[in-house]
């Protein structure tokens, strides 16, 4: 797959996408589970996956931008 200049690398974009998607699915499932544990899973698992994905995406943006800025 191509690595577009100025964009996060495709691999980190893919990883970020998978992490965020997985986190969001976990979060959506917990919404239909009426139990105190659901909130812990929402934050602990879902929130962590989403946060990791977002960090990876933002990191990819920074790295991609700095790579593109190199002569």
Binding site for other proteins (CB under 8 A): 1-2, 4, 7, 10, 13-14, 16-18, 20-21, 23-25, 27-28, 30-32, 34-40, 42-43, 46-47, 50, 53-54, 57-58
Q: How far is the CB of 38 from other proteins (least distance, A)?
A: 7
Q: Which is nearer to other proteins, 36 or 71 (CB)?
A: 36
Q: How far is the CB of 17 from other proteins (least distance, A)?
A: 4
Q: How far is the CB of 67 from other proteins (least distance, A)?
A: 15
CA–CA dist 12, 52 (Å, integer): 11
Cβ distance 69 to 7 under 8 Å? no
Residue 6: phi and psi, rounded to 5, are: 85, -5
For residue 46, give Cα distances in angstroms to 11, 40, 42.
21, 9, 5
């Amino acid at each position: 797959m191509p690595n577009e200049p100025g964009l996060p690398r495709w691999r980190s974009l893919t990883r970020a996408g998978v992490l965020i998607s997985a986190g969001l699915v976990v979060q959506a499932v917990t919404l239909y589970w009426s139990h105190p544990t659901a909130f812990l899973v929402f934050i602990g698992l879902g929130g962590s996956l989403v946060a990791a994905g977002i960090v990876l995406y933002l990191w990819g943006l920074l790295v991609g931008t700095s790579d593109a800025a190199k002569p």
